[in-house]
Structure formats: structure tokens, C-alpha cells
Copies of this chain bind each other. A is one copy, B any other.
Amino acid sequence: MHQIVQCVPNFSEGLDQATVDKITAPFASQEGIKLLDIQTDADHNRMVVTVLGPAPAVKKAVLEAMARAVELIDMTRHKGQHPRMGAVDVVPFIPIKEMDMADAVALAKAVAAEAADALGLPIFLYEQAASAPHRVNLAAVRKGQFEGMPEKLKDPQWRPDFGPARIHPTAGVTAVGARAPLVAFNVNLDTGRIEIADTIARRVRHIGGGLRYCKAMGVALEDRGQVQVSMNMTDFSRTSLYQAVELIRIEARRYGVSVAGSEVVGLVPMQALVDCAAYYMGLEQFSMTQVLETHLL
């Protein structure tokens, strides 16, 4: 059985389609890799690529795409609303099958070492691959952005894990890491009052005292006259989707508001949904090997 990894590299180009095509070509052409999504955002001037495949094939294609991005993107001319610090801004690896987090960390470190060496790029390890606690959070690593990096890298606290202790003149700095699969999960409320979604979001999210692996904010759904608690579930194996739904339901109750529905945005691992079915139906002793399709993987 192959080790299957997901990789969601973010590149600082979301406007020029020719450049987008050149950078993503290694994913499209590499044998065995599924190129699941290329999401470009003009306002962010950024693209988010989602690929899935055997670890060696993903590694090879990612390194090639990183080289192309370093060659093609000039950060000294980059403008965009999303925080960014490099041409290859961030490269997270997510263990999917026949591999655990330690394997994903090892893969992240190998890619970081090779890319730093081949491209002369300073690279920080982050999230599960981080070399120190203050480097775990990507926002902390990226703070200062491209323009602030020359100064930041002089601080011994921010010496890169790989590559030179100075920015690449046009490609800046890159973060490579490993993390659990993230599920974008939203719960809709049958009210148009945004302050209720905001308040509930603050109650259910980790930072506000809520669920450990849940980030949340309130969003208005103007056309539906509803509001939404929009969440990133950062480790569904520890904080389940049903916990978020039920916690939102009981919080909504104090406003006389009900849960109108929910949605998963993008991909979700099978286990995350099976956990929910198992909870609501009280399934006992269920094993993922009972899911017929696992025998086809």
C-alpha cells in the first residue's frame, strides 16, 4: 500500500493565468497525482492548489512547482489583500492514508531541506513540523509579511529552519509544515441577526473558550436572510463536526433561534462523516473496515 498524502500549497499569484498554468503544470503531469482543485483569487492575488497522491510523487511535483514559482513570481511587485511572505507562501502536508503525522512531518522536512538547498530559499517549518512552540502558528511565522522579513530574519528567534538567514530577493520566505486535514464546515441559523452568529461563533471556538480544534466567525447570508457560523475544524478526529452542530444548537436556543442547516465546503475525510453518523445513531463498535469502499482503496 502506498502512503497517500494531501498537499495544499499556496502561491502568491492569482491574476496571471499563464503563470498559474506554469506553476501547476507539474501537478497535472505527474503520474499518480490527483489535482483536485486550483482556486485563484484576484483580490488576494493568490492561488490555493489541492493535490492528493502517493508521497514520492507529490514530493517530486511540489518541488518542481516551488521552483517554477520562485522563478516566475516577483514578490517586490506583489500586491494582494491576503497576508503573504513569499512566492511559495505556505506548503502544508496532510497525512491521508498509510501514514501518520510523524510521516507527514518527515516529508515536510525533506521537502523543506531540498527546496532550500536547490532554490536558495529560507524556509520555516510550522504547525506539527515546527522546531519551536513560537513557530507553530502560521500567522506568527508570517507576521511582518514579505516587506518585514529582511528585518525579522535578523532576529535569532526567527532564524529559518533551512536555507540562508536572509530573504530570497524576489521569492521571499516560505513556510512548510504538516497538519491534520482541515474541514470547512458551516452551520446556518434561521435568523438574519448577524450579532447572534458572531456571539455563538465566539462561544464555540477555541480562542473563546469553546472547542479545542474549532475556529469560527459569524457570516451574513444576505440572499437567504440567514446568518452562519462559519468554521474551520482543524482536527476532526478530536473535535467532531457533531459537537460543533450541537453546541451551536444549544447556544442558539437562548435566542429562540434554530439550526437551519449546515454545509461542508470542499473536501471532507470519510471518517469525519462516519463519526457523525455513528454518534447520532449510537453505532456500537463500528470499524472503518466495514465501509465497503475502504476495500477498493
A residues near B (Cβ < 8 Å) are 4, 6, 34, 36, 52, 96-97, 181, 188, 241-242, 245, 259-264, 266-270, 273-274, 276-278, 280-286, 290-297
**A232 shortest CB reach to chain B, Å:** 16
Chain B residues with Cβ under 8 A from A283's Cβ?
261-264
18 contacts between A and B (CB under 8 A): A36-B295, A52-B292, A52-B295, A96-B296, A188-B284, A245-B281, A260-B282, A262-B281, A263-B286, A266-B290, A267-B291, A268-B290, A268-B291, A268-B292, A269-B292, A270-B292, A273-B274, A293-B293
In the complex, the answer to whether A263 meets B285 with C-beta atoms within 8 Å is yes
Q: Is the CB of B273 within 8 A of A291?
A: yes
- How far, in whole Å, are A76 and B84 apart by their CA atoms in the complex? 79
Contact B242 A295 (CB under 8 A): no
* Chain B residues with CB below 8 A from A263, complex form: 283-286
Report the separation of the CA atoms of residues A108 and B259 in the bound assembly, to the nearest whole angstrom: 46
Given A274-B277, A277-B276: A295 and B34 interface contact (C-beta under 8 Å): yes
Residue of B nearest to A34 (CB): B295
Contact A4 B296 (CB under 8 A): yes
List residues of chain B with CB within 8 A of the CB of A96: 292, 296
What is the distance, in angstroms, from A222's C-beta to the closest C-beta of chain B? 17
Looking across the interface, which residue of chain B has its beta carbon closest to that of A287? B264
Contact partner, A277, options B188, B277, B294, Cβ 8 Å? B277
Give the Cβ gap from A288 to chain B, nearest Cβ, in Å.
10
Cα distance A274–B276 in the bound complex, in angstroms: 9
Q: Give the chain B neighbours of A273 by CB distance below 8 A.
A: 273-274, 277-278, 291
Instruction: Give Cα A296–Cα B34 distance, bound, in whole angstroms.
Output: 8
